[in-house]
């Protein structure tokens, strides 16, 4: 009976030690990502050669990554700190259509460096396409990207109503309904609230 108790105690201790060692590995990864300057929301340009809409990147402190492209598509990935200002990123995106047709998978791998002021980054990346049969094209690249940190700002003093703004956007001319705006061009920029 005593041998069974000792064996059970040793077994419980071994399980506890194994669990603690796994937790310390997770904590070590979290520590490197939690305090990393890449954590946050960014506006990113992934095609520096042409004029294009910017994408939103979210680097979470737990190492997860979410990207929302200007066209509305969402990609998920993971990132890991490789230094105080550097990181690697891997994004896996399944390609398909509304009929659940599988076109394959795109894997994007990137190396990222955050600037000294931690408000911008530069990245180099490759793309790999894997068809539904598992055949890879190999990595193509490199491509280059830049990002600017999104920071919280207090609201400014409005220079027009929401209706005027949306009307100008729909019209495309910058003026609502083709009429002259009553707001002087010099006053178009919102000013911060004191």
Provide CB contacts within 8 A for 132, sequence distance 6+: 102, 103, 104
Specify whether the CB–CB gap between 20 and 26 falls below 8 A: no
Dist. CA 79–CA 92, nearest whole Å = 12
Domain chopping of the chain, boundaries: 40-149
Average pLDDT of the chain to the nearest whole number: 79
pLDDT of residue 174: 53
Half-sphere exposure of 92 toward its Cβ, with a 13 Å CA cutoff? Answer: 5
pLDDT of residue 173: 59
Is the bond preceding 142 in cis, omega lying within 30 degrees of 0? Answer: yes
List C-alpha distances in Å: 24 to 15, 59, 66, 83, 190. 14, 22, 25, 19, 48
For the chain, which residues score pLDDT lower than 50? 3, 5-31, 176-194
pLDDT of residue 108: 97
Provide CB contacts within 8 A for 81, sequence distance 6+: 32, 33, 36, 38, 87
pLDDT of residue 101: 78
Say which CATH architecture domain 40-149 belongs to. Answer: Beta Barrel (2.40)
Dist. CA 41–CA 57, nearest whole Å = 6
């Amino acid at each position: 009976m005593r041998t069974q108790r000792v064996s059970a105690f040793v077994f419980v201790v071994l399980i506890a030690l194994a669990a603690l060692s796994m937790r310390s590995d997770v904590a070590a990864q979290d520590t490197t990502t939690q305090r990393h300057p890449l954590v946050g929301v960014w506006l990113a340009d992934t095609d520096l050669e042409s004029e294009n809409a910017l994408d939103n990147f979210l680097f979470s402190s737990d190492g997860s990554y979410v990207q929302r492209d200007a066209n509305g598509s969402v990609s998920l990935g993971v990132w890991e700190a490789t230094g105080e200002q550097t990181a690697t990123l891997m994004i896996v995106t399944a390609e398909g259509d509304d009929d659940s047709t599988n076109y394959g998978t795109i894997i994007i791998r990137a190396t990222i460096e955050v600037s000294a002021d931690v408000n911008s980054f530069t990245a180099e990346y490759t793309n790999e396409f894997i068809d539904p049969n598992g055949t890879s094209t190999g990595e193509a690249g490199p491509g280059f990207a830049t990002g600017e940190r999104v920071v919280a700002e207090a609201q400014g003093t409005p220079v027009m109503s929401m209706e005027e703004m949306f009307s100008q956007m729909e019209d495309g001319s910058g003026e609502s309904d083709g009429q002259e705006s009553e707001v002087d061009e010099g006053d178009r920029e919102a000013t911060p609230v004191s």
